Structure 1
C-alpha cells in the first residue's frame, strides 16, 4: 500500500532531541518524509483534515481527521499525504517529562507508531486550541515562553488521555477484575491463559475483550505496570538492576532493561543516575 514511501534514498534531517518544536502543516499529495533510522524523540501528529499515511518499514497505517499518531523513539518511519488528499495536521517533536509517560500509552496502530481517535467535536476543538497555543508559545522569546509551550503540550496530552478515559468508564467487570489483579499482583508469572481462566473466558475471547476495552494488550498492560513499580524502586532503593527486575516480575534483566529503555527513553542505570543527580541539587 505504501511501498513508495520507503523506496527512496532521500533522508530527511533528524531533529535535535530535547528541543520542543511544533507547527501546523497543509500538504498536498506528493509530500513525504523519510527517516529510516527514526529519531531520538517522540513525534506527535493530530490530523485536522484530509489523510496522511504512516509506514514503519513493513506496515502502514492511514490517519484521518480527528486522529492522533505518536511515533516512538528509534522507530524507522516514513509518512506522506495520502493519494488524492490535502493533509492538514499539527505536529510536535518532544522529549516527555517523566510524569507524562503514562499519557503516552496509546494502543499501537502498527509497531512503533501509537494511535488514537478523538470522537467528539468539543474535544477536537479543545485539542486544536491547545496545539495553537503550543505553536504560538514556541514562536515567542519571552522569559516564560518555553514553560508556556511545555504546559500547552501537556494540555494536549492530557486532553488525549481524558478522551480515552471516558471510553473506559463502562468497562466490562471481567476486564476490571483483571486490571485489579494485575495492579495488585503484578510480580506474578501471569499468562493470557491463566488470567482468562480467572474470569471464565477462553484465552482468545479474553485477549480480544481486554484490548478492545483498554486499548492495550494484556501483556502490554502488565509490562507497563511492572515498569512503573521498577521506576519507584530505582528512585527509592539501593537494589541492583537485576534485583529490581526480579522483584517486579521480569525473569531476564536484559529484557527488563530493553523494556525500560523503550518506555522511559533511557536504560534503568542511566535513569537512576539522573534521579540521584536531581536529588543532590
Structure 2
C-alpha cells in the first residue's frame, strides 16, 4: 500500500502556510495523498475510526483509531487508507505560534512524522470536542471566528501535550533561548552563524538541532514571526505597506509583499481591504 501511495498517486496541491484549515474525512481504500516535497506548515490528523497509513518516502507507519499524527514542515509525505478498512479522521494544517512549539515535541514514529496515542477515553473525548469546535469555527466568517479557531487549536495541542509528553521530550534550552530571542527582536537582521554563536554551537549543529526540535529551519521561523506581526499591523494600524515592511524587519516592500502573499494567500494591500470591508 505504501508503494502504491508513493508511485501511483498524483501530486496534491500544497497548502497556503498562513491559513489555518481543518476538516473531517471518511475515506475507503483507494484514498491517497501525495506531497513529495512536503508543506511549509504542520499537518495534524486524529483517527476516529479505521486507520491511516503514512509514508515519508523511505519508511511507513500506521495511525490507527485513538492516535494522532503530526507531519512536520518539509517532510515528504504520502498517506491514504489501507485495504479492508475505512479511515475516518479529523485533520488540520497550521503554523504554530512560537509558544506552542514545546507542545509539538511528540515521539517520532518515522523521520518527520510524529505520533501519540490516547488510552484514556475521557481525554480522547475532550480532544474530539476541541477538534469539532475548530472545524466549526473555521467554517464561520464573522470577526471572531478566526480567533476562536486559533483558541480551539491551542486547546487541541495542550490536550495532546498533557496526554503525551514526558520529560525527555522537552525542548532543548538553547532552542528555547533562540526562539525567545527572535520572537522579541524579530526586526534585527539575524543569521544562522550569529544565532549559533549565541548558544555556543557550530552553525551546522545548531541548524540541525533547531530543525529537529521545532520541525522547521530557524530562518523560516523568523520569517513567519515577522509575517504574523505584519498581519497584526495591517489589522490595527494605518501604516503604509512600506512602513510595515520596515517595522517587521523586511528590507524591501516588494519582497515583503511576495512573502506575505505566499504565506496568507493574498497580498497585504488586498488583505487590508478585506479587513476594512468586514468592519464596515
Per the TM alignment, residue 206 of structure 1 is displaced from its structure 2 partner at its CA by 1.2
Match for residue 154 of structure 2? 158
Question: Normalising to structure 2: TM-score of the pair?
Answer: 0.62
Question: Normalising to structure 1: TM-score of the pair?
Answer: 0.62
SS at match of 1:162: helix
Alpha carbons 2:134, 2:153 under 8 Å: kept = no
Per the TM alignment, residue 115 of structure 1 is displaced from its structure 2 partner at its CA by 6.4
Per the TM alignment, residue 222 of structure 1 is displaced from its structure 2 partner at its CA by 0.7
In the alignment, structure 1 segments of 5+ residues that lack a partner are: 12-19, 36-41, 108-113, 139-143
Cα distance in 2 for partners of 1:31, 1:230 equals 38
Matched, 1:121 2:116: no
Per the TM alignment, residue 264 of structure 1 is displaced from its structure 2 partner at its CA by 2.8
Per the TM alignment, residue 244 of structure 1 is displaced from its structure 2 partner at its CA by 1.6
Cα distance in 1 for partners of 2:149, 2:233 equals 28
Match for residue 202 of structure 1? 202
Match for residue 47 of structure 1? 47
User: RMSD of the TM alignment (CA)?
Assistant: 4.8
Alpha carbons 1:54, 1:61 under 8 Å: kept = yes
Q: Aligned in 2, Cα 1:217/1:134: closer, same or farther, shift over 3 Å?
A: closer
Q: Deviations over 1:102-125 (max 9, x none)?
A: 499879xxxxxx965335434544
SS at match of 1:121: coil
In the alignment, structure 2 segments of 5+ residues that lack a partner are: 13-20, 36-41, 106-111
Q: How many residues are matched?
A: 239
Cα distance in 2 for partners of 1:275, 1:239 equals 14
Cα distance in 2 for partners of 1:267, 1:54 equals 34
Q: Aligned in 2, Cα 1:235/1:173: closer, same or farther, shift over 3 Å?
A: same
Cα distance in 1 for partners of 2:257, 2:78 equals 27
- Higher mean alpha-carbon deviation, 260-269 vs 165-174, is at 165-174
Q: 2:7 aligns with which of 3, 6, 9?
A: 3
